């Protein structure tokens, strides 16, 4: 029975990037504060033990997705991937530029993405509930096509994250990064629909990762206009040496974690008429747009 509550996916990206981030994400799942996490199977800190620990806390309420990773400083899982620099993927800006120019190696992409799907299945014993990409790289040309083929071939029940917002026109131009994702996602949604792969109806959670960012203040705006089944991205965690080595997003992860674990978060959801979706709703709530 529909009680008028909007149910959404609050997805913690980057499970696997470091032990401290992994522990924080598991804690939030156990508290019922998030209901999805995206796993970086190619991260050095992702192990079979980390997968088992996540399964123990996530089942049956939280969805577990594959966070396709194709940018530095991470390295491919499959041998023979090209191009590389010092054994790692190219930088985000370089991969994005090459994707827009359609100059990536399609065979290398297909093998590496298939390898990450296979690594997920080996670690968790099943296909991912959904698929997205580190740095949103999965919505770029060439990469998006390869991801959709892999879903069709190996995870046909999974849905895929699109990163287009559902915000009023007057707000669309305030965030240049989100505006680019809107445009890329429009094309990606069309490709997903043609492939009969389901997508979320809307996306939120992108913001400028600078020292002044206030996640707690921004979060209510993520809920604005978010429809039932929408996705809000987050990056909670605590900082350890491995995170500092691999990623510039450090202290902001601790701010996100503190807000999501704190007392004000559930009250905010109640005031907004919003609640986290249950994992069993995954197949019915993600729809092609």
Give the residue extent of every domain in the chain: 6-285
How is residue 169 written in tokens? 């026109």
pLDDT reading at 191 higher than 90 = yes
- Give the pLDDT confidence score for residue 2 in this predicted structure: 56
Per-residue pLDDT averaged across 148-173, rounded? Answer: 84
**What pLDDT sits at residue 126?**
97
- Mean pLDDT for the chain? 92
pLDDT given for residue 1 in this prediction: 42
Q: Average of pLDDT values for 103-126?
A: 97
SS3 60: coil
49-63 pLDDT tens trace: 999 999 999 988 899
Distance CA(221)–CA(232), nearest Å, equals 11
**pLDDT (mean) for 125-152:** 97
Provide the CB-side half-sphere exposure for 257 (13 A, CA).
20
**Which of 265-269's residues contact partners 24+ apart within 8 Å by CB, and which partners?**
265/33, 265/219, 266/33, 268/219, 268/220, 268/223, 269/223
- CATH number for the region 6-285 comes to 3.20.20.370
Q: Model pTM?
A: 0.93
> Does the structure show a pLDDT above 80 at 175?
no
Asked whether the predicted pLDDT for residue 248 surpasses 70, the reply is: yes
Residue 187, phi then psi, degrees to nearest 5 = -65, -40
% of the chain with per-residue pLDDT over 90: 83
Please tell me the total number of residues recorded for the chain in this structure.
Answer: 289
pLDDT surpasses 80 at 81: yes
The pLDDT of residue 251 is above 80? yes
- What pLDDT score does 201 carry? 95
CA distance 226 to 281: 17
């Amino acid at each position: 029975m529909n009680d008028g509550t909007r149910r959404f996916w609050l997805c913690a990206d980057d499970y696997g990037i470091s032990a401290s981030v992994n522990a924080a994400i598991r804690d939030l799942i156990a508290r019922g504060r998030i209901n999805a996490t995206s796993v970086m199977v190619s991260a050095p800190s992702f192990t079979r033990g980390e997968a088992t620990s996540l399964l123990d806390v996530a089942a049956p309420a939280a969805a577990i997705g594959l966070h396709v990773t194709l940018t530095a400083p991470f390295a491919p899982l499959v041998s023979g991937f090209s191009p590389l620099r010092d054994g790692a993927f190219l930088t985000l800006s370089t991969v994005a530029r090459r994707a827009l120019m359609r100059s990536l190696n399609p065979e290398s992409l297909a093998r590496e993405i298939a390898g990450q799907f296979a690594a997920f299945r080996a670690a968790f014993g099943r296909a991912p509930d959904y698929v997205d990409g580190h740095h949103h790289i999965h919505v770029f040309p060439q990469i998006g096509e390869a991801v959709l083929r892999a879903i069709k071939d190996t995870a046909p029940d999974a849905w895929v994250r699109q990163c287009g917002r559902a915000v009023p026109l007057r707000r669309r131009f305030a965030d240049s990064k989100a505006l680019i994702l809107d445009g890329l996602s429009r094309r990606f949604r069309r490709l997903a629909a043609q492939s009969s792969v389901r997508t979320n109806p809307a996306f939120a959670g992108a913001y400028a990762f600078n020292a002044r960012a206030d996640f707690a203040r921004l979060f209510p705006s993520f809920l604005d206009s978010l429809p039932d089944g929408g996705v809000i991205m987050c990056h909670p965690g605590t900082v350890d040496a491995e995170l500092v080595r691999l990623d510039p997003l450090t202290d902001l992860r601790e701010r996100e974690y503190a807000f999501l674990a704190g007392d004000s978060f559930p009250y905010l959801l109640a005031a907004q008429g919003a609640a986290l979706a249950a994992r069993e709703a995954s197949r019915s709530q993600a729809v092609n747009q």
